[in-house]
Amino acid sequence: MRILILIGLLLLSAQSLATVYRWVDENGKVHYSDEAKNNAEAVDLKENTQNNITINTPTKINTTEPKEAPISYSISITSPQEEATIRDNNGAFTVSVSVSPELPRGVMMTLLVDGIVTAPPQASNIFTLTGINRGEHSLVVNAVTQSGKVLASSSPRKIFLHQASVFGPARKSK
């Protein structure tokens, strides 16, 4: 059975080497065929008429992905202003923060008053504080990942908190 297939393939390949004929019809149109027609001439095919395709493969394929440059975040405290005086007997005030570009999901901001974290980490850019004692304070906001890595920090902001004295005027008794 294999011998019959082999002989059949040899016969087919011999036919593929058939002669090509060229002729011009009465309208002046050129025709090509593998069958001889009257006033057809055999065409001699040269090696350079055959299609040859070569594919150049790169010698080294770059499998490493380009590394992205680390993003530089900018954090600034927009309110209260530098050396602002805040008057509140409860020691309450609000700190507003501006961040650019937007922080990725999972990164929180913490507020440090005099180097101590005074508010829990949050995604909001507004911190509301209460119970802060009077005097001079330094505010800093950090962008912190879940693992505790600080991505960015604001520059320190100095503020002054004033409260009425506990030694106010004496109350009149009834």
Strands (DSSP E) found in the chain: 20-24, 30-33, 41-43, 74-79, 84-87, 93-100, 108-113, 116-117, 126-129, 135-144, 150-153, 157-162
More confident residue, 54 or 129: 129
Residue 44 CB neighbour total at 10 angstroms: 8
Domain spans of the chain, in order of start? 74-162
CA distance 137 to 14: 98
Convert the pLDDT of each residue in 133-153 to its tens digit: 889 999 999 999 888 888 889
Q: Note the CATH number of domain 74-162.
A: 2.60.40.10
Sheet bearing 126-129, strands edge to edge = 74-79, 93-100, 126-129
The residue among 17 and 146 whose pLDDT is bigger is 146
Q: What is the mean pLDDT of residues 148-160?
A: 91
> What's the rounded mean pLDDT across residues 142-169?
84
What are 87-117's pLDDT values in tens digits?
988 889 999 999 988 888 888 999 999 999 9
User: Which two structure tokens, joined as six digits, stand for 59?
Assistant: 């010698």
Q: Is the pLDDT of residue 159 over 90?
A: yes
Under the banding of pLDDT at 50, 70 and 90, the label for residue 170 is: very low
Q: Indicate whether 44 pLDDT > 90.
A: no
Q: For residue range 48-96, list pLDDT tens digits in order.
A: 656 667 777 766 666 666 666 778 888 999 999 999 999 988 889 999 9
Cis? peptide before 70, omega within 30° of 0: no
pTM for this model (two decimals):
0.55
pLDDT at 112: 92
pLDDT for position 54? 76
